[in-house]
């Protein structure tokens, strides 16, 4: 069975890191990425998306999380901008103690399937991989080169170049202890690997110092044969 590595470099500015959860929508494994901001009453405005891992189909969500019981209702659509557009469904449930679970319903309220996501990811102490790939889209170029042996980092280098020539480069990172995955740092830049079953997600936070003005890193998909392709998560 072919294994794919999902490489996500989240370089959005601001102190709030995205919340990542792994789980299922119905019988389909999925990866959920959410950003939230607190309101004066203690509730949180929530927006993000989830990816069905088998097909890489993306669904965008937005809504709110209650302040006490964690009741969370997220409208679902097929585009990053949901305002003014009819939703294709909703995720209705509770999000507390690191678990978001409930029922996915259709536009008319009809029950479609159960869902459950968890903030707990599997340990990766035994993870080993050698990844060396390159992807392009138009004049945008991205290269990734890393080696992990038995959960220990041996090599890491990543570089992307914008059409205008601005570049981002993250390399020579050091490993830190991390629960539920692997974490590497280069100054304030944090790179995190998480096990998604047949996929591994690699995300980076606070890495703007490694990028020229207006440069950014797009997500990559890398398979065991050394091929990779761009994957755009969310609007930029």
What is the residue-wise DSSP string for 142-195? EEEEEEEETTEEEEEEEEEE-TTS-EEEEES-EEE--TTSEEEEETTEEEEEEE
Q: Are residues 84 and 51 in the same domain?
A: yes
Q: Are residues 98 and 137 in the same domain?
A: no
Q: Which domain holds residue 82?
A: 15-118
Q: Are residues 162 and 183 in the same domain?
A: yes
* Tally of domains within the chain: 2
Q: Are residues 111 and 142 in the same domain?
A: no
Final residue of a domain: which of 67, 97, 118?
118
Q: Are residues 142 and 216 in the same domain?
A: yes
Pairing of strands 199-205, 4-7: parallel
Final residue of a domain: which of 99, 118, 137?
118
Residue 2 lies in a domain: no
Distances (CA, A) of 230 to 46, 143, 178, 212, 219: 26, 11, 27, 20, 6
Q: Are residues 110 and 155 in the same domain?
A: no
pLDDT in tens, the chain (236 residues): 444 555 554 443 344 568 999 999 999 999 999 999 999 988 999 999 999 988 889 999 999 999 888 999 999 998 887 777 888 999 999 999 999 999 999 988 899 999 999 999 999 999 998 998 888 988 989 898 989 999 999 999 989 899 999 999 999 889 999 999 999 999 999 888 888 887 888 787 888 999 998 888 777 776 766 677 776 655 44
């Amino acid at each position: 069975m072919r294994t794919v590595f999902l490489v996500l470099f989240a370089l959005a500015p601001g102190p709030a890191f995205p919340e990542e959860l792994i789980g299922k929508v119905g019988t389909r494994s999925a990866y959920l990425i959410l950003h939230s901001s607190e309101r004066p009453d203690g509730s949180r405005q929530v927006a993000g998306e989830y990816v069905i891992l088998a097909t890489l189909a993306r669904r965008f969500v937005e809504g709110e999380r209650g302040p006490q019981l964690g009741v969370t209702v997220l409208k679902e659509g097929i585009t990053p901008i949901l305002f003014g557009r009819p939703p294709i469904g909703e995720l209705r449930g509770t999000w507390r103690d690191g678990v978001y679970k409930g029922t996915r319903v259709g536009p008319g309220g009809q029950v479609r399937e159960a869902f459950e996501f968890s903030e707990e990811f599997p340990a990766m102490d035994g993870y080993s991989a050698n990844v060396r790939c390159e992807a392009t889209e138009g004049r945008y170029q991205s290269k990734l080169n890393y080696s992990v042996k038995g959960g220990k980092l041996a090599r890491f280098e990543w570089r992307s170049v914008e059409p205008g020539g601005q570049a981002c480069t993250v390399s020579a990172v050091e490993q830190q202890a991390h629960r539920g995955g692997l974490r590497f740092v280069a100054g304030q830049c944090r790179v995190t690997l998480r096990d998604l079953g047949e996929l591994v997600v690699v995300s980076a936070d606070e890495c703007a110092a490694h990028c020229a003005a207006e440069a950014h890193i797009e997500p990559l998909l890398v398979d065991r044969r050394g091929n990779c392709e761009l994957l755009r998560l969310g609007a930029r």
